[in-house]
Structure 1
Amino acid sequence: MTKTFKLGGIFLITVVNLQIVRMIFYFIPLSDNLTGWLFSLIFQGLAMGLIPFLLYKAWVGNGKDYLKDFKLSQKINPLSCLLAVGIGFLVFYINIGASTVWYILLRSLGFTYPSNVGTIYSSPEVLIFELLATAVLPAIFEELIDRGLLLAVLENEKNDKKVVLIIGIMFGFLHQNIAQFGPAVFGGIVMAYMAVKCRNIVPGMIVHFMNNAILTILNYSTQVNNGLGRLYEAFQRFYSSNFLLTFATWAAAIWLIIVALRAFDVMNRKYRQKSDPLYEAEKPPRPVYTGEHATPPFRENTAGRAAFQDDYFFKIYGAPRGAKPAEATSPSPFKDTYTAAKKAAAVKWWEYGLLYCSILSAAVVTLFTFIWGLLR
């Protein structure tokens, strides 16, 4: 079994574990507070934390490899974390709009939302436990699996846009609840973009925590009717009666988040290049003219650039740089060896088989929740 296949297996086991734990807790008669806390502790810490880690050590590599594959070891620009806080506020605000639009869409299709008591904030201690269960644990363990592990599975996929889209949509499916699918996809795409651009999931953890923590604090404030709660209720009344104006602010927030994400990409580019020297070497470089001949640019002490020039030379001449003129012919044994090596390194379709099973499994459950809501 290849590494990609094994990582896909770990992801599939995690998805199935989520479904099993959800079914178990559905039939356990506990209070809403206790059920939510136990579910988060068991699923987040065990099913998304300990079990994947043990499977990784047994099938793939050691602890150091785990940090690298799950995107925890890559150095990033320190300002990325500060920018992630701002992006977290924007994601929360935009998700208010996304949730509203998604709610209207589902209701128009005849979907009935489930009724539940929700968290009862009988004391400040409940707020602390709720923040731990809904903000801290998901920010850590969901990012490890939904971004870190998925990026490891898709490591050989060079199309960043495709990777971001797959991970974003999969994040929606992993909630396995049609009511959460739309807003989750938006947040998933933002956090996937950040993880892809800096090769580290810590900024995404910050965004994830900010989004969930703000919602939890506002729910608490609304229940206890403090100043923040009254302000939030006033905002809800405002946007429900001035939807077009509020929609314009959501559009402005989307523009701001696009600008912020571009800045995030730029500030982390050099950090990514240090670990992936060929990151920006996608186009052939401009030739440097010396006398009558043009050669690809080459900086003596830049290993990544040198590696790219070797690759570039192969594609043009079918022989390694420095080869004799007679060797740069077609068919070339050098070029044949190079082509064979590239084909051998390419991921076969079946290596993604268990990932496809994971996507299908989560999508089927999400579809079932939609059908169940229509029949309710």
Structure 2
Amino acid sequence: MSSLKGVFKNRKIFSQLLLLLFLSGLFFYIGLAFWMVISAGRREDAQAIRVLQLIQSIGLFLIPPFIFAYLVSDRKPTEYLSLSQKINLKDVMYVILIMFIAIPFVNFLTSLNQQLVLPEVLAPVEEWMKQTEEEAAFLTKQLLQVDNIGGLFANLILIALIPALGEELYFRGALQNVIGRGKGTHFAIWMTGFLFSAFHLQFYGLLPRWLLGVFFGYILVWSGNIWLPVIAHFTNNAIAVIFYYFSGQNNEVVNIDAVGTNDSWWMGVISLILTILLVFRLKSRIPKKQHI
């Protein structure tokens, strides 16, 4: 196995991208075959969907980056993926605060995104987008519907933590790193953010998720520490999981998705201003350790 260490190091960027894609497909389909055997493909079963979610996160995102890093670098995979850096508690608090402060702006941007209408010639594409959005919403609702604290904690691990870790390792740790080698830091961050958003196939949330991906990319570049974008991503996911749970338990809970939209649009504007200020403050306090 040691003879394979760094074997793809000097290959062209396109070859490395194909390798990453191949590894994702390989482990995903291995996991999917396993899921089909144990669940008989019951997509209407919430437990089966949870198992599929776990397999997707592990097969598509968690395993491939480590093998990829082993094959394309002489460094340890943990170093290549920026997992070996220590975490600064103040930076973590800033990241978490930013994710909360940004909620109204994200909602505001989502509402604008949802108003976009494609030209009539692209009507079939728009219909497909709506269909995939509805399917994604249905699956998400199935995953989120739990009625006890045990289910809530299980969802925090399954829907918030594991996807946050896996997707950041894949998109920021591996993909952004490769693209940045040939196209430069900023292009890599924005392109990776777009691919990250497009992957979710929720096109009426494309813009806000794209910007979130860009933010995750920049804090990795600024800090050289993948744990900061992982924590930011986890916070974003966890907020949705927790509020959905408590809204199901208590109808009086504020609909967090509505904050910053319609009559409260001004909260979205204030949120944007505060978020920008906090992001620049975070950047100024992190020692510069450019990752790509």
User: Normalising by structure 1, what TM-score?
Assistant: 0.61
Pick aligned residue for 1:11 from 11, 20, 36:
20
RMSD (CA atoms): 3.4
Where does residue 95 of structure 1 map in the other structure?
Answer: 106
Pick aligned residue for 2:266 from 248, 253, 259:
248
Q: Confirm or deny: 8 A CA contact 2:85 2:224 kept in the other structure.
A: yes
Structure 1: gaps (5+ residues): 277-376
Residue 114 and residue 176 in structure 1: after superposition, are their counterparts in 2 closer, same or farther (change >3 A)?
closer
1:232 matched to 2:258: no
1:114 matched to 2:130: no
Q: Which amino acid aligns with 1:254?
A: L
Query: Greater CA deviation, 135-144 or 37-46?
Result: 37-46
Q: Confirm or deny: 8 A CA contact 2:193 2:214 kept in the other structure.
A: yes
Pick aligned residue for 1:257 from 275, 285, 289:
275
1:86 matched to 2:97: yes
Structure 2: gaps (5+ residues): 1-7, 120-125
1:289-343, Cα deviation, whole Å (9 max, x unpaired): xxxxxxxxxxxxxxxxxxxxxxxxxxxxxxxxxxxxxxxxxxxxxxxxxxxxxxx
Q: Confirm or deny: 8 A CA contact 1:41 1:133 kept in the other structure.
A: yes
1:161-184, Cα deviation, whole Å (9 max, x unpaired): 322211211211222342442332
Alpha-carbon distance in structure 1 between the residues aligned to 2:27 and 2:201: 9
Pick aligned residue for 1:134 from 156, 159, 162:
159
Where does residue 147 of structure 1 map in the other structure?
Answer: 172
Q: SS at the partner of 1:73?
A: coil
Alpha-carbon distance in structure 2 between the residues aligned to 1:18 and 1:114: 27
**CA deviation after TM superposition for structure 1 residue 3, in Å:** 5.0
User: Normalising by structure 2, what TM-score?
Assistant: 0.76
Where does residue 315 of structure 1 map in the other structure?
Answer: none
The residue correspondences of 1:1-376 to structure 2 (distance < 5 A) are 1=8, 2=10, 5=13, 7-14=16-23, 16=25, 28-31=41-44, 33-57=46-70, 59-61=71-73, 65-74=76-85, 77-105=88-116, 111=130, 113-114=133-134, 116=138, 118=142, 119-157=144-182, 159-225=184-250, 230-233=252-255, 243-244=262-263, 246-268=264-286, 270-272=287-289
- Size of the alignment, in residue pairs? 265
Q: Confirm or deny: 8 A CA contact 1:172 1:185 kept in the other structure.
A: yes
Q: Which has the larger radius of gyration?
A: 1
**CA deviation after TM superposition for structure 1 residue 91, in Å:** 3.6
Q: Confirm or deny: 8 A CA contact 2:177 2:188 kept in the other structure.
A: no
Q: Confirm or deny: 8 A CA contact 2:109 2:207 kept in the other structure.
A: yes
Q: Confirm or deny: 8 A CA contact 1:199 1:272 kept in the other structure.
A: yes
% identical aligned pairs: 19
**CA deviation after TM superposition for structure 1 residue 84, in Å:** 0.7
Q: Confirm or deny: 8 A CA contact 1:7 1:56 kept in the other structure.
A: no
